[in-house]
Amino acid sequence: MHTAHIVVTLLAALMAGLSGVVLLLRVQWIVKGLTDYGVPRSWWTLLGLAKAAGAVGLVVGLFVPVIGVLAGTGLVLYFLGAAVTVARARWYSHIPFPLIYAAPVVGALVLGHAA
């Protein structure tokens, strides 16, 4: 179970971290989505930093579990909030995307609890 926890946690951190970097770099496809969903431009840097910090927290959590739990919880809430934002913008076909990012985080939390 320990190996699975490490692999899933690193996958979750990689996905969240890349998502944060893409946002911080203002890659066109993410900028278009945020604009379409009505997310204020003034929030973009903080949202990108939140995802990047969550990714770092997941990795640190492999050594300091409480940090991993806090980071994982924050990321799950972040991605659920993203799904709500997408739904409020009526882009229903896009709702699965933030949930795909949340799934490995949930997996990491569950496997960490079981370890």
| Dist. CA 45–CA 26, nearest whole Å | 9
| Dist. CA 75–CA 62, nearest whole Å | 16
Chunk the chain into consecutive blocks of 10 residues (it has 115) and report each block's average pLDDT, rounded to whole numbers: 92 98 96 95 97 98 97 98 97 96 97 83
Give the predicted TM-score (pTM) of the model: 0.94
Could you give the C-alpha distances from 20 to 5, 53, 86, in angstroms and in order?
Answer: 22, 9, 17
Return the pLDDT at 1: 58
Residue 88: CB atoms within 10 A of its CB come to: 10
Return the pLDDT at 115: 66
Q: Which residues of 11-30 are buried (b: 16+ CB within 10 A; e: fewer)?
A: bbbebbbebbebbbeeeeeb
